Structure 1
């Protein structure tokens, strides 16, 4: 099959429209004339490599897609992509492992752009217990693990609102990246059954959407934070995210600490 490369001007215009930025606003922030930007978008002018990079930065285009802009303009990619086990990423890998280990006894995961599981700490087992083995087989996808009827979903007490939050995050990611693979994942996850209303309950006075999950006879409650690498110039690092789960109440915290102590005693 022959892949047709779309003109760089058309791609820039689509990214600008996706970001809901006018030509005037973009030209001011990128410090180019509106006339020249218009000529670039219509194909009447060819942008320089520096201009493509500048426009990509001001449009907040992901690094992977910035390379596509450069290729469409006839330039070599600027951002390299490495395997996570590449020696050049050793320092980053070590930092990720420190974060995961330091978060014990609470669960934490590392995911890539497509929500595939890259790494996790031991405490993630409190969330994945009972998940079908095929969902945990590599490449395991944390959204499938979370929302598939053979995954965590039957144990999630507030499945509707937690599902709505996850789908909202994925939908915003699709809008940000325009990635067809993520759009396919969104369509798949949306099709999973859910017998609860997919809305939150602000009357409870909560400050975040919690994850309420059953573990054995216990009912646990979590909130999470998401960390990314600051100012990455490498595609793999730019697409990694560390999601760390924290106990949303004292009961959950004590339960996890006791669970970790029991695990340590058994291993010792």
Structure 2
């Protein structure tokens, strides 16, 4: 992928990164500005294969609905009888509703940290891509016996080269958060059988400072409270570094969960 030219001024690039809308999980704006390796398992394709065999499906924290929309398209002409999705951020609720309604999916506004607003055993498949955190007890509750949870989670210390550039070294317990083996134990404690768990570390490159600004505005938990004004000296120094040395390199971590609710 070709990098964007780096001769544009710091002010112009920062202004551009600060002006791009952040709704949804469409990352196409980063084309040519940032790259990220994709996990080898192809989550959205896997989700489409599972959707084609499911009857009632829930997508947790769907964002703008882009991944679920793609997966539903892969599942056609087979499709579940019921497709529901939850999302907690109002702008994303509106975007996901507009995108998913034509596919017959219902989007429910629900806080990310609240119980799922569905009956026990309502779904035979629960999906999620990059949940803020998995609420295993709730996932297990809404699954039917024999139902499955398929999800791609963010792993420990993901893109922390960039995070720690702004925040400095973080404590070991923070770097160890989102550990896949800890999540496996939590899933099993909730009564689920983890039948598959794969993890990968993936190269990420930021080719200009506009990409950094937009990324930190979009993924707000990376550098909490991030604003251009608050971090202007660090941003300017990073802009100069990219111009002199090339892309800023970080590494994302991802893991794929495949868990089942036992038939008792």
> Of the two structures, which has the highest relative contact order with CA contacts closer than 8 Å and spacing of 6 or more?
2
Q: Which structure has the larger Rg over C-alpha atoms? A: 1
Judging by fraction of residues, say which structure has more helix: 1
Does TM-score exceed 0.5, indicating one fold?
no
TM-score of the pair, normalised by structure 2: 0.30
